[in-house]
């Protein structure tokens, strides 16, 4: 049995909880913010409902190598919580990861906690943190706009 890793991230974004929530469930938004620096993203399928599935791939711009993954939506509470799984298509990255995102309105925007569990042991946790940090920077650029809601 191989071991897995868990990472935890925390951010405050100058956005609304609903805007951040939508960024996780809109295919065009996901393709824009989720791929870390140096990668492009393609969403191949997205059925954003509990029990629904998604499929996407990241392509390294420098060498054009892609890796694809997909999973199932386990819990969706608008503006508050998302919980979903992910599995890589690559057999060298086995297992099922689970990501939980919680959102809470705060006076200056939204507080976001991300917990990703079950990361295959061959992926260094530091690499996961770096990728998520890059992705969250792109998420902030997407959602931290003038609030007109």
Domain count, the chain: 1
Whichever domain contains 22, its CATH number is 3.30.530.20
- Determine, yes or no, domain membership for 108: yes
CB 7 within 8 A of CB 98: no
- Determine, yes or no, domain membership for 107: yes
Tell the residue number behind the tokens 């951010």, with chain if given.
Answer: 11
- Determine, yes or no, domain membership for 149: no
Q: List per-residue pLDDT tens for the chain, 149 residues long.
A: 458 899 999 999 999 999 999 999 999 999 999 999 999 999 999 999 999 999 999 999 999 999 999 999 999 999 999 999 999 999 988 899 999 999 999 999 999 999 999 999 889 999 999 999 999 999 999 999 865 55
The CA–CA distances, whole Å, from 144 to 38, 46, 60, 77 equal 22, 24, 26, 21
- Determine, yes or no, domain membership for 11: yes
- Determine, yes or no, domain membership for 44: yes
**Structural domain span for residue 66:** 4-143
- Determine, yes or no, domain membership for 148: no
pTM for the full predicted model: 0.92
């Amino acid at each position: 049995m191989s071991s897995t890793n868990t990472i935890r991230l925390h951010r405050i974004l100058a956005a609304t909880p609903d805007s951040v929530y939508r960024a996780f469930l809109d295919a065009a938004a996901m393709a824009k913010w989720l791929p870390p620096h140096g990668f492009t993203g393609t969403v191949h399928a997205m059925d954003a409902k509990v029990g629904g599935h998604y499929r996407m791939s990241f392509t390294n711009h420098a060498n054009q190598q892609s890796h694809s993954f997909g999973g199932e939506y386990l819990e969706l509470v608008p503006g508050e919580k998302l919980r979903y799984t992910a599995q890589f298509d690559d057999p060298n990255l086995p297992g099922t990861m689970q990501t939980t995102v919680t959102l809470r309105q705060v006076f200056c925007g939204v507080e976001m906690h991300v917990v990703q569990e079950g990361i295959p042991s061959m992926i260094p946790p530091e690499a996961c943190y770096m990728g998520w940090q890059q992705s969250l920077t792109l998420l902030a650029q997407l959602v931290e706009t003038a609030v007109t809601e």
